[in-house]
Structure 1
Amino acid sequence: MPAGEGDGMAVTDPALVAVVAMAENGVIGDDGAMPWRMPSDLKRYRRLTMGKPMIMGRKTLDSIGRVLDGRDTIVLSRGARSVLEGAVLARTPEEALDRARDAARARAADEIVIAGGAEIYRLFLDRIDRLYVTRIATDVTGDTMFPAIDPAIWAIESEEPCERGPNDSADSRFVVYVRRDR
């Protein structure tokens, strides 16, 4: 019997969260790369995702170039025949979620991270409970956009300026959004 069943404790699925850095105009990428340099945000990304399963597309994993340590990487792709060693391939969003839930239970993680790219964010946006957004204080050109964050659906839970690191290419702020209907 799974933990929590039969002992009076409710079993709940981990929250589904998106972690994303985006320019003020919604751009999240250009030609497979981020169009800014933000080492301080990469440290935040590591803290937010460590110990959690992450669902991402094949192109996102390819742009990272490796499986990230301390996290389970589930790659959602209909066309890929294989993925980098250490990643798990899923063919449908439901399969990806099932694999992520299994990984979250194994790690006792309270969140599953949707890690991009744009199509993966779009596929899961209706199911996501929380958005962790680094807003890069610039407008850039790019070929990849994050879906619009509708204020009728999303409420700002917290917002804080980020200290600009010496190697960061722009100022930024960190915004946490929660879904209004949950």
Structure 2
Amino acid sequence: MTDDTKVPERKLRHKEPRRAGADSAPLAIDRGSVAANASIDNPAWRIKRPPDRPWPFKAENVSPLQWWRTLPSDAFRDAEQILLLTTVERIGVLHGGDDLAAALAGDAAAAIGVAFSLMPIETATLTVDIAMTALCRCALARNAAAALVMAQVIGLTDLNHGLATELAASWYTRGLRYSSNPRKFSQAEAVLLTAFQERHRDGESA
């Protein structure tokens, strides 16, 4: 793994976690490829990466258990999804109880519950990576609520690479695309953006 694709294993911090539910989430964004052109309708996302700059992380250079915090949703093609599913199915849960086991089996509600139970995420532990990978698996299975929670957790966590907002935007876009009620889904925008902005202000004032 090259230096520019290493994912720090140390602190993943955020302050004052906001636990907006799946029906009271955030953001309204361009439905095109966020990773490809980083074009977001709402300027509050503040995505500044030039559209012609390639995404700095590649799936082959990062462990599948770290993909949730390094790859945007549109980077998960068939090959990546198959590998992610294979990785999840090979995980044996020694701790974490029935909820984590259900999450790994593809239960979206359990995966969402486990993800929220981890907040605020301060350290990228193996448990965190496993739980968020289980949630990622559900989001990739076109579960809009799981995608929304992916956006929320990622957007409220300091991933130590400065691309959390872009990653969050990509998962929000995916959730909106597959939501059975896009209008209600979009009503979450103000809540999520407010939480993201407060986290950024907290970080700047720390």
Q: TM-score range by the shorter chain?
A: 0.3 to 0.5
TM-score by length of 2: 0.30
Specify the structure having the higher radius of gyration (Cα): 1
